[in-house]
Amino acid sequence: MEGEHSMRQILLLLAIILIPQNYQSTSPSMVFTSTAIGGGLLAIGATVSTTVNVAGAQVGMPCVAAATDGTDMVAVGFLPTCTVTSSGVVTVRGIAILSLTPASKTYSGRVFPN
C-alpha cells in the first residue's frame, strides 16, 4: 500500500511537470484569484483546496494556478494545481510534496478553452 501511494505521488508530479504551461488565451474572463489556502501542517501527499467561480469554465478545460505573490511554491515543497470540477467552478488545490506548513496564500490562474 505504501509503495502504491508513493507511485501515485510520483505519477502525479510527473503529469503536472509535463503538462505544457505556455497556453495563450483570448478570454480574459477565464482568469481567477482564489481565497487563501495553506497555513497548516501538511504531511507528504496531503492537500488543501478551495473553489472559485469562473464564468464559462467547463469540465475538461485545462487550467493553471500559481501563487499571486510570485512565490515558487514547488521549490518549497507545495504544488499548486487547479481543475475545472463542474460547470463554472474551479478547484484550486495545493499538494504537499514534502511535509511542511505552507504559508497561507492566494492563487491566481487561468482556464483555457479546448
pTM above threshold 0.85: no
- Its domain, for residue 29, covers 2-111
Strand 47-53, strand 89-96: pairing:
antiparallel
Query: Number of structural domains, the chain?
Result: 1
pLDDT tens across the length of the chain (114 residues) = 455 556 666 666 666 666 555 545 455 579 999 999 999 999 999 999 999 999 999 999 999 999 999 999 999 999 999 999 999 999 999 999 999 999 999 999 999 998
Neighbours of 102 (CB within 10 A): 23
